[in-house]
Amino acid sequence: MTMKIRLYVEHPLGQEQTVPLDRDQAHYLFGVMRQSVGAQVALFNGRDGEWRAEVVEAGKRGGVLACREQTKPLQMPPDLWLLFAPIKKARTDFIVEKAAEMGAARIIPVQTEFTNSERIRQDRLQAHAVEAAEQCGGTYVPEVSELHRLDRLLADWPEGRQLLFCDEAAAGAGLALDPALRGAQAPWAILIGPEGGFSEAERAKLKALPFAHTISLGPRILRADTAAVAAMTLWQQALGDWQ
């Protein structure tokens, strides 16, 4: 059975587990989508896979669903972080949505020397990640972190995690990853710079890091949101779960 409506919930999911709906979820399900008692809905919480649930109580301010059967196990994405410098609001939203759809395990906004935005709405970006997971059929929702300073993040970088540094100054230099890196099972991260690019000091520091690997994203300089999608596509095809 294909269920058109998917909802992310915080509640545990399991056989015959009942799940209460909050006011916003009830409004969406019963007011916007015009569902009623007996309707079938897909639920997931990022931990227990996807479950087919049935509406057993419906009201304007709340409701209750009951889990009937598991329809998908939890499908974890590769251990990939996406680091990006926030840009204009709608385009930052786009990056978060696409990263969630394409299989990022964690999304980390970073402040670089040329980052235009000095603050983000973490709760709003997290909501976009949830919506993307609901729409794409995923069972996992990546965490969207608060804004981190890039220099501090790199200074406390976790041992063993490799970093794919997408350098706009390397445009046209070739797309290939080092063959020695292909097939490596190490955790990874992708770094996308701001609209103004990386500073020379940042570029020099990144190139000196033993865990950082510089890559070009083709012959043209891409917008930051386009670069995020391009880089994740290349990584997924070479090292991720698209192989």
Over 70: is that where the pLDDT of 226 sits? yes
Going by C-alpha positions, the residue among 64, 68, 54 that lies closest to residue 26 is 64
Over 60: is that where the pLDDT of 207 sits? yes
C-alpha 133/C-alpha 93 separation (Å) is 14
Q: What is the pLDDT of residues 120-161, one digit of tens each?
A: 999 999 999 999 999 999 999 999 999 999 999 999 999 999
Say which residue, 181 or 6, is predicted with more confidence. 6
Residues forming beta bridges with residue 40, ordered by sequence position = 54
How would residue 30 be classed by pLDDT, with cut points 50, 70 and 90? very high
Say which residue, 175 or 91, is predicted with more confidence. 91
DSSP 24-36: HHHIIIIIIS---
Q: What is the pLDDT of residues 47-98, one digit of tens each?
A: 999 999 999 999 989 999 999 999 999 999 999 999 999 988 889 999 999 9
C-alpha 126/C-alpha 143 separation (Å) is 7
**Predicted TM-score of the model (pTM):** 0.90
Over 60: is that where the pLDDT of 175 sits? no
Mean of all residue pLDDT scores within the chain: 91
Q: What is the pLDDT of residue 171?
A: 67
Over 90: is that where the pLDDT of 29 sits? yes
